[in-house]
Structure 1
Amino acid sequence: MNVTAIENFVCVIYNISFMNCTWHVDMNTSGDTQYFLYWKTSRKEDFLRCQNYMKDNCGRHTGCRFQNVTIEENRKAYFLVNESRNGQNILPYRKTINLYEIEKLTPPLNVTVNCMGVPHSCEIQWQPPRTSHVKRDICFKYEIVIEKKADPEERIKNTSKTERIITGNSYIFDSFSAKKRYTVKIRATNNHCLVSENWGEWSTPVEFGREQLTSISSYTLLLISVVAASLILFFCIISIYLKRVLTVVLQPKDPFHGISPVNFQTDNQFTKHETEEIITIIEEVA
């Protein structure tokens, strides 16, 4: 019996839970030849058939895409590829793979650069890549690449690159110059755990240096200007308010203010009337 004629069977897990499996087809096979992929993650399970094939120009299956793939520590996966060719009995291609070994690690997360502390140095920090089966930071080591960029505005033409292999989630770059521009990128690999030995994906380059410091300075100046304007306006309002309050308090009060002239006349008339009555009583007694 013939064996299924495929070569270079490779599977890769990426973005935590997606998996692609591909293979090369023998170009000398007949046009009606077709290939079918099956897989399972336990000997006790039944094989599952691929539902999303990749095809070549002749319509032959050359790969399969899987979703929601879960990696468990030391969990093996079993693959087989069947070949259909004119009703012949053909032995399937078989392969067993440790799933953690075929994972393409995601880039390290949240890469930040802080150059505001000690002069001529920057602290670069990041978080471990995302994975479905490893939760310990010590399981990763990193390659960090810092590149000094050319800057026509500052007439800096030469470039240089700093490469380091480190553990941990931070690195002190002590060759920093505020007049130069830099980029940093990081990728991860295994550090004595059940993690793929292959290097993962690079993080998006982060720029820092002259442009970053200029941006920070501009923001700081804008913030200071807004705060200063707010304080001036506040003191002006307080000054006007206090001036009005003091004017009202210190103004002397008129002791005759509010006495009605009508009331004054009424009192005089009442006094005169009483005097006249007293005089009349005295005359009658005499």
Structure 2
Amino acid sequence: MSGRLQQLLAFYVSGWLALEAWPFKVENCTVELPAPTNLTVELRGIGHVTCSWSWLKPQHLENDTSSLYQYDSSFQFDGGHWEQRKINSLLYREEGVDRNRHVTFQVRVFVANKTGPCRSSNWVSISIPSDEGVAAVKNFTCVFYNFEYVNCTWDVDPTAPDAIYHFHYWKNTMASVQNCSDYIYKGNRRAGCQIHRDKLDKLELTLNSRVQGVSARGKIKPFYYMLESYAFVKLRPPGRIDVARIREGINVSWEIPSDWKSHCTKYEVRVCSVKRVSCIDYMFQKAAGTIIDADTKSKNTVQVRAMYDLCGSSGIWSEWTPEHYFGEDAGTTWNWSIALLIFIPVLVAVTAIMLFAKLKQLRRWILPPIPDPGRLLKDMFFDGNGDHSVGQLFVASA
């Protein structure tokens, strides 16, 4: 049985025993028991605390074997509400906390019998102050790229003193805090760290990180960050997309790497109509799906992206795959509507010019020119050489 499973089992058993033991609200308990003593806090790794205490049963209760004594504990951050409450029968509590803030831990003992009133002690508390110094780190982000490597990056407040920044990381399975061996630079300043998969041990555990600035001009406040490994995973886009037309619509499928956990991955399919310039998104839990309202009579594009999703905690969406076309005119990218808007006016103009020329020639064939009557008369009474003088009369001599 793995250590994480043992922790979960112990948590549920202790919770079940606590519920069986106190049918009344713990808040209504009468203060009758001595408070825990010797409360201490030990800092372990990065952002992890172990709070421990001791408690002895009073002499007048030593013979009480029917009562189950429990410890009620919780944390407070920067003087806010008490949170991360836990009830169990152990004399210690291990927890990851936000070390960027002032932390206070409190604990008390109580017992609730089904046959009697609830009894409790007073609270005892201990403070874990935050580190001192100037807060310089901002915009801290970590991305686990396809379970291959982690990139953690940050910016530095321009008003903070000049410093050299060191990145440390730690997990419960590590014996000691690890130093970054592959820094990411912006100019000549450290602005991130890349951690390869082989240095992360078990991927499903929490990664605790710290950015520590060292400056001769002032003290830099360390920056802490706690990440669940499955909550900052960014997968690479799925592989080749296939679209098959069916009577109800289309079947879409895509390729995924063999090392992906299929039950921990969800997908989003985007179908866009080129004609309508609109898109619809669909969610799927497997690497295939049916879309019944797809318009296969016109050209469409389909894209897919993936996200690692475990226990309700989502990671980061991958990039979209390249567009895959489907539909009746999927083989061409020509926009006929624009083409017609250009072609039709040109066709009308050319046709009009041709018709005008043809009509002029046709008119000559159907309606020949009418002769000029004046010219026709002249041609009848006068010779054709243009000599219009009166002829001389010759008389023979006697």
Query: Number of residues paired by the alignment?
Result: 200
Query: What is residue 211 of structure 2 aligned with on the other side?
Result: 81
Counterpart in the other structure of 2:314: 196
Q: CA deviation at 1:120?
A: 6.3
Superposed CA offset, 1:158-208 (max 9, x none): 333222223333222334555421111122335553763433332222112
**Aligned ranges for residues 121-140 of structure 1 at < 5 Å?**
121-128=249-256, 135=261, 137-140=262-265
Aligned to 1:107: 237
Offset from partner CA, 1:245-265 (integer Å, 9 cap, x none): xxxxxxxxxxxxxxxxxxxxx
Residues 216-244 of structure 1: CA deviation (Å, up to 9, x unaligned): xxxxxxxxxxxxxxxxxxxxxxxxxxxxx
What are the ranges of 5 or more consecutive residues in structure 2 without an aligned counterpart? 1-131, 333-398
Residue by residue over 1:123-169, the C-alpha shift from the partner in whole angstroms, topping out at 9 and shown as x without a partner, is 111245676xx62x23333221111113xxxxxxx333222223333
1:81-130 Cα deviation digits (max 9, x unpaired) = 12111175545322222111111122233321122xx3463211124567
TM-score normalised according to structure 2 size: 0.44
Q: Is the 8 A contact 1:4 1:83 kept in 2?
A: no
Q: 1:71 to 1:144 in 2, by over 3 A?
A: farther
1:163 aligned to 267, 278, 281, which one?
281
* Cα separation, partners in 2 of 1:73 and 1:112, compared to 1, 3 Å: same
Higher helix share: 1
The 1:119–1:11 alpha-carbon spacing in structure 2 relative to 1, beyond 3 Å, is same
Structure 1 gaps, min length 5: 151-157, 215-286
User: 1:19 — aligned with what?
Assistant: 150
Aligned to 1:67: 196
Q: What RMSD, in angstroms, separates the aligned Cα atoms of the two structures?
A: 3.0
Which residue number in structure 2 is paired with residue 240 of structure 1? Answer: none
Change in Cα spacing, 1:46 to 1:148, as seen in structure 2 (3 Å) is: same
SS in structure 2 at match of 1:210: coil
User: Contact 2:249 / 2:296 at 8 angstroms: preserved in 1?
Assistant: no
Name the structure 2 match of 1:154: none
Find the aligned partners of 1:71 and 1:163 in 2 and give their Cα distance.
36
Residue 183 of structure 1: aligned partner: 301
Structure 1 residues 37-90: Cα deviation after superposition (integer angstroms, max 9, x where no partner): 122333643333223323334x22111223335574531212121211117554
Contact between 1:100 and 1:194, CA under 8 Å: does it hold in 2? no
The 2-side partners of 1:166 and 1:43 are apart by 35
**TM superposition shift of 1:7:** 1.5
The whole-number CA distance in structure 1 between the counterparts of 2:319 and 2:258 is 11
Distance of 2:160 and 2:211 partners within structure 1: 15
Query: Structure 1 residues 162, 45: closer, same or farther in 2, change over 3 A?
Result: same
1:64 and 1:44, CA in 2 relative to 1: closer, same or farther beyond 3 A?
closer
More strand per residue: 2
Q: Secondary structure of 1:100's partner?
A: helix
Structure 1: which amino acid aligns with 2:223? Y
AA matched with 2:278: S
